[in-house]
Amino acid sequence: MLRGIKVLDQAKLVEDPRWWNHQSIHPGNEARHAAGEMHLVRSAASSKKLLYKWRLRLPKSIQAMNLRPNVVAALYANKPEAWQQFLEGAPVMSTANVNVAVGLTNGAIGTAYALYFSAADRAKVAEAERRAVESGSWVVEVPLGVFPTIFELAFPVPPNVEDRGQLHGRIEQEKWIVPFEPCWLDAIQVLAKDKSVTVKPHGFKLTQALALTFHKSQGLTIAPVVLDLARTAGRKGGCSVTFESLYVGLSRAPSDNSLRLLPPAEGQTLEYLLGLKPKKDTVEYLEHGWDLDSGRRAFAGAAAALVAVRRARAPDVAAVARKAPPKPAAKKVAAKKPAAKK
């Protein structure tokens, strides 16, 4: 299943510029957030567009503590998920169900359209914009205590809507512009005085979509895309990459030319991929090729797909040794006890 798939190297970045703005898929949210910020910074520099980043608002219980600015800043240190970003034209995913009837649900992806601040904060933001342009970084770090009021996303106009006036937002140049307002988000953990504290921040139910998890990438076609699969060498268990998630990641790209693996860092390996096995349900589904909704055969090539899934072949990476998958252990059958005599 992995034969022919290559790692992303410096030579590929030089010969094919589209890989500078690739998207990526990761096992967990921590890696996804860090990679997403890296993608946004690179896109801002190449497009010469301003990238806005701001800290999520802390709950009132922490605000009431009147912490010093350097202490508050430390809460956000090395915590990418405690920040949100806006880059005009970048893909952004909704994490809320806004209008289920027309498909604007959790997981819907639009493009960043406009970001608004209150009149009282505009001067502070303008100064941050000036510094970003003069430094050539194009990254606008919104001052501490300043938060956007509206984040607009652009989506295609839903084809199944007769009265466009009923859509939330507005229509501009055949784009559906949807405004999002800040609200309370899911709890996150931040560091405060060398302790991990769980807080429920205030922000937008939106997240960058340049880097996704395997789960959130289901159903999408992404090109070019890089898969983050490496893990620490010698690590046992605790890996969130399963055979099914690997299959999801590999099937996001339309061709092998649009797919690369993130090269393992020092002390990391890809060898564990050779031991991944499909679940029984996965094999049964591909054997029969059933569409669970209609009860009919989903595709004529189900048998061929099953053969591909059953293959356990190593990726074309020098760091990974080719070896056969382990044989399943023989099942032990317990002997039946003789019936007791009456």
Domain membership flag for residue 109? yes
Cis bond leading into 224, ω under 30°? yes
Residue 224 lies in a domain: no
Q: What is the DSSP string of 125-145?
A: HHHHHHHHHHHT--EEEPPTT
What pLDDT score was predicted for residue 7? 87
Domain range enclosing 70: 28-211
Q: Does a structural domain hold residue 328?
A: no
Q: Which pLDDT score, from 0 to 100, does residue 319 have?
A: 39
In a domain, 44, yes or no: yes
Could you tell me if residue 33 is inside a domain?
yes
Q: Is residue 222 part of a domain?
A: no
Domain membership of residue 291 (yes or no) is no
pLDDT tens for the chain, 342 residues long, are: 566 678 888 888 778 888 888 999 999 888 899 999 999 999 999 999 999 999 999 887 776 666 666 667 767 777 788 899 999 999 999 999 998 988 899 999 999 999 999 999 999 999 999 999 999 999 999 998 899 999 999 999 998 888 888 899 999 999 999 999 999 998 887 665 566 667 788 999 999 999 999 999 999 999 999 999 887 655 554 456 888 888 899 999 998 889 999 988 888 888 888 788 888 888 777 666 544 444 444 444 444 444 444 443 334 443 333 333 444 454 444 444 455 554
pLDDT at 239: 57
Predicted local confidence at residue 60, as pLDDT: 74
Query: What is the count of structural domains for the chain?
Result: 1
Predicted local confidence at residue 128, as pLDDT: 98
Q: Using CB atoms within 10 A of its CB, is residue 17 exposed (0-12), middle (13-18) or buried (19+)? A: exposed
Q: What's residue 264's pLDDT?
A: 83
Q: What is the pLDDT of residue 234?
A: 55
> What pLDDT is attached to residue 296?
41
Backbone angles phi, psi at 327, to 5 degrees: -75, 145
CA distances from 68 to 64, 107, 202 (A): 12, 37, 20
Put simply, whether the predicted model's pTM sits higher than 0.85 gets the answer: no
DSSP state of 332: P
Asked if residue 36 belongs to a domain, the reply is yes
